Amino acid sequence: MKQLFKTTVLLTLFFTSISIVNSEESFALKEIRSTTANLARSADGVVLANCVKSEARIDEETGLIFTYTTFKVDEKLKGEYGDEIVLRIVGGTVGDKTISSPFLPRFTQNEDVILILGPNNTRGYPVLKSLSGGILRVETDDTGVKYVKTPVDGLEIIDSKTNQRAAGRDKVNLDNFIYSLNEVM
Protein backbone atom coordinates (compact mmCIF):
# COMPACT_ATOMS: atom_id res chain seq x y z
CA MET A 1 0.00 0.00 0.00
CA LYS A 2 2.81 2.41 0.90
CA GLN A 3 4.54 1.72 -2.46
CA LEU A 4 1.29 2.36 -4.35
CA PHE A 5 0.91 5.72 -2.55
CA LYS A 6 4.50 6.74 -3.46
CA THR A 7 3.96 5.74 -7.10
CA THR A 8 0.68 7.69 -7.25
CA VAL A 9 2.29 10.79 -5.76
CA LEU A 10 5.27 10.59 -8.13
CA LEU A 11 3.04 10.12 -11.17
CA THR A 12 0.84 13.03 -10.07
CA LEU A 13 3.89 15.29 -9.67
CA PHE A 14 5.27 14.17 -13.03
CA PHE A 15 2.07 14.89 -14.97
CA THR A 16 1.51 18.15 -13.10
CA SER A 17 5.01 19.31 -14.03
CA ILE A 18 4.36 18.43 -17.68
CA SER A 19 1.17 20.46 -17.71
CA ILE A 20 2.93 23.42 -16.07
CA VAL A 21 5.79 23.33 -18.59
CA ASN A 22 3.31 23.15 -21.45
CA SER A 23 1.02 25.86 -20.11
CA GLU A 24 0.93 29.32 -21.65
CA GLU A 25 1.99 30.78 -18.31
CA SER A 26 5.31 28.92 -18.28
CA PHE A 27 8.18 31.38 -18.05
CA ALA A 28 10.70 28.67 -18.87
CA LEU A 29 9.43 28.53 -22.44
CA LYS A 30 8.84 32.23 -23.07
CA GLU A 31 11.11 35.21 -23.01
CA ILE A 32 9.89 37.83 -20.57
CA ARG A 33 9.60 41.12 -22.51
CA SER A 34 11.42 44.05 -20.99
CA THR A 35 11.51 47.67 -22.08
CA THR A 36 14.38 49.08 -24.10
CA ALA A 37 15.42 51.21 -21.12
CA ASN A 38 15.40 48.29 -18.66
CA LEU A 39 17.35 46.06 -21.04
CA ALA A 40 20.00 48.76 -21.51
CA ARG A 41 20.23 49.44 -17.75
CA SER A 42 20.80 45.77 -16.95
CA ALA A 43 23.02 45.07 -19.97
CA ASP A 44 26.71 44.31 -19.80
CA GLY A 45 27.17 46.28 -23.01
CA VAL A 46 25.43 48.40 -25.63
CA VAL A 47 27.07 49.15 -28.98
CA LEU A 48 26.21 50.83 -32.25
CA ALA A 49 27.62 48.50 -34.89
CA ASN A 50 27.64 47.67 -38.58
CA CYS A 51 27.26 44.11 -39.87
CA VAL A 52 30.40 43.13 -41.78
CA LYS A 53 29.60 39.50 -42.58
CA SER A 54 27.60 36.48 -41.51
CA GLU A 55 28.59 32.88 -42.09
CA ALA A 56 27.28 29.54 -40.86
CA ARG A 57 29.63 26.78 -39.73
CA ILE A 58 29.32 23.40 -38.06
CA ASP A 59 30.77 23.35 -34.56
CA GLU A 60 33.19 20.42 -34.48
CA GLU A 61 32.59 19.73 -30.79
CA THR A 62 28.76 19.68 -30.78
CA GLY A 63 27.92 19.03 -34.44
CA LEU A 64 25.44 21.93 -34.33
CA ILE A 65 25.30 24.67 -36.93
CA PHE A 66 26.05 28.17 -35.67
CA THR A 67 25.94 31.47 -37.54
CA TYR A 68 28.84 33.76 -36.75
CA THR A 69 28.02 37.40 -37.46
CA THR A 70 30.85 39.93 -37.35
CA PHE A 71 30.10 43.56 -36.52
CA LYS A 72 32.37 46.60 -36.73
CA VAL A 73 31.78 48.58 -33.54
CA ASP A 74 31.10 52.22 -34.44
CA GLU A 75 30.30 53.45 -30.93
CA LYS A 76 30.59 51.84 -27.48
CA LEU A 77 27.71 53.13 -25.38
CA LYS A 78 28.26 50.76 -22.47
CA GLY A 79 30.87 48.12 -21.71
CA GLU A 80 34.37 47.39 -22.91
CA TYR A 81 34.65 46.00 -26.44
CA GLY A 82 37.21 45.99 -29.20
CA ASP A 83 36.68 47.27 -32.71
CA GLU A 84 34.79 44.09 -33.66
CA ILE A 85 32.18 41.88 -32.06
CA VAL A 86 31.24 38.41 -33.24
CA LEU A 87 27.84 36.99 -32.26
CA ARG A 88 27.57 33.19 -32.32
CA ILE A 89 23.93 32.16 -32.64
CA VAL A 90 22.64 28.64 -33.13
CA GLY A 91 21.12 28.11 -36.57
CA GLY A 92 22.01 28.52 -40.21
CA THR A 93 22.66 26.44 -43.32
CA VAL A 94 25.80 24.52 -44.19
CA GLY A 95 25.53 22.49 -47.39
CA ASP A 96 22.23 20.62 -47.29
CA LYS A 97 21.87 20.86 -43.48
CA THR A 98 19.77 23.61 -41.94
CA ILE A 99 18.92 24.54 -38.37
CA SER A 100 16.33 27.30 -38.29
CA SER A 101 13.92 29.03 -35.98
CA PRO A 102 11.56 31.94 -36.59
CA PHE A 103 12.93 33.58 -33.42
CA LEU A 104 16.58 33.71 -34.44
CA PRO A 105 17.79 37.10 -35.67
CA ARG A 106 19.11 37.60 -39.18
CA PHE A 107 21.48 40.34 -40.21
CA THR A 108 22.40 41.71 -43.62
CA GLN A 109 25.78 43.01 -44.67
CA ASN A 110 26.23 46.78 -44.06
CA GLU A 111 23.17 46.89 -41.78
CA ASP A 112 23.51 49.27 -38.81
CA VAL A 113 22.21 48.01 -35.47
CA ILE A 114 22.32 48.77 -31.79
CA LEU A 115 23.10 45.59 -29.88
CA ILE A 116 22.12 45.26 -26.23
CA LEU A 117 24.41 42.60 -24.83
CA GLY A 118 24.53 40.36 -21.81
CA PRO A 119 27.63 38.58 -20.51
CA ASN A 120 29.84 36.54 -22.81
CA ASN A 121 28.99 32.85 -23.14
CA THR A 122 31.39 30.10 -22.09
CA ARG A 123 33.09 30.28 -25.49
CA GLY A 124 33.78 34.01 -25.07
CA TYR A 125 31.16 35.30 -27.51
CA PRO A 126 28.87 38.16 -26.43
CA VAL A 127 25.23 37.15 -26.02
CA LEU A 128 22.20 39.29 -26.84
CA LYS A 129 20.43 40.43 -23.69
CA SER A 130 17.11 39.58 -25.35
CA LEU A 131 16.22 38.03 -28.70
CA SER A 132 13.13 40.22 -28.97
CA GLY A 133 14.56 43.51 -27.69
CA GLY A 134 18.34 43.18 -27.84
CA ILE A 135 18.59 44.30 -31.46
CA LEU A 136 17.52 47.75 -32.58
CA ARG A 137 17.63 48.22 -36.35
CA VAL A 138 18.94 51.53 -37.69
CA GLU A 139 18.12 53.00 -41.10
CA THR A 140 19.26 56.09 -42.96
CA ASP A 141 16.69 58.33 -44.64
CA ASP A 142 17.09 60.10 -47.99
CA THR A 143 18.75 63.09 -46.33
CA GLY A 144 21.40 60.98 -44.60
CA VAL A 145 19.83 61.19 -41.12
CA LYS A 146 19.93 57.93 -39.15
CA TYR A 147 16.91 56.65 -37.26
CA VAL A 148 16.25 53.75 -34.91
CA LYS A 149 13.43 52.03 -36.77
CA THR A 150 12.75 49.33 -34.14
CA PRO A 151 10.07 50.58 -31.71
CA VAL A 152 11.59 51.97 -28.52
CA ASP A 153 9.74 51.60 -25.23
CA GLY A 154 10.24 52.71 -21.64
CA LEU A 155 12.59 55.50 -22.70
CA GLU A 156 11.72 59.18 -22.85
CA ILE A 157 13.36 60.53 -26.00
CA ILE A 158 15.09 63.86 -25.51
CA ASP A 159 16.32 66.01 -28.40
CA SER A 160 20.11 66.03 -28.09
CA LYS A 161 20.36 69.62 -29.36
CA THR A 162 17.52 71.35 -27.47
CA ASN A 163 17.32 69.07 -24.40
CA GLN A 164 13.53 69.08 -24.89
CA ARG A 165 11.27 66.07 -25.20
CA ALA A 166 11.26 64.71 -28.75
CA ALA A 167 8.31 63.05 -30.48
CA GLY A 168 8.24 59.48 -31.69
CA ARG A 169 8.65 55.91 -30.63
CA ASP A 170 8.69 54.01 -33.90
CA LYS A 171 11.21 56.15 -35.80
CA VAL A 172 13.59 57.82 -33.40
CA ASN A 173 16.48 60.03 -34.49
CA LEU A 174 19.67 58.04 -33.70
CA ASP A 175 21.46 60.96 -32.00
CA ASN A 176 18.41 61.58 -29.79
CA PHE A 177 18.14 57.87 -28.99
CA ILE A 178 21.80 57.60 -27.94
CA TYR A 179 21.54 60.80 -25.88
CA SER A 180 18.38 59.55 -24.12
CA LEU A 181 19.80 56.05 -23.55
CA ASN A 182 22.95 57.46 -21.97
CA GLU A 183 20.73 59.41 -19.56
CA VAL A 184 19.14 56.22 -18.17
CA MET A 185 22.17 53.90 -18.12
Domain identity same for 89 and 116: yes
pLDDT score at 76: 97
pLDDT score at 11: 32
d(CA 38, CA 76): 18
d(CA 55, CA 57): 7
pLDDT score at 59: 93
What is the arithmetic mean of pLDDT over 159-181?
86
Kindly report, residue by residue over 103-137, the tens digit of the pLDDT: 778 999 999 999 999 999 999 999 999 887 899 99
Domain identity same for 26 and 51: no
What is the arithmetic mean of pLDDT over 93-106?
87
Please tell me which residue, 30 or 166, carries the higher pLDDT value: 166
Domain identity same for 24 and 55: no
Domain identity same for 2 and 52: no
Q: What is the domain range of residue 161?
A: 36-184
- The residues, ordered by sequence, that sit 6+ positions from 18 with a Cβ below 8 Å of its Cβ are none
Domain identity same for 70 and 159: yes
Domain identity same for 151 and 111: yes
Q: How many domains does the chain have?
A: 2
d(CA 181, CA 40): 8
- Tell me, what CATH number does 141's domain have? 2.40.50
Domain identity same for 87 and 176: yes
d(CA 140, CA 35): 24
What is the arithmetic mean of pLDDT over 76-85?
96
Domain identity same for 45 and 74: yes
Please tell me which residue, 182 or 23, carries the higher pLDDT value: 182
pLDDT score at 17: 34
pLDDT score at 169: 66
Domain identity same for 82 and 170: yes
Domain identity same for 41 and 25: no
Domain identity same for 40 and 8: no
What is the arithmetic mean of pLDDT over 139-146?
95
Domain identity same for 156 and 67: yes
Please tell me which residue, 28 or 33, carries the higher pLDDT value: 33
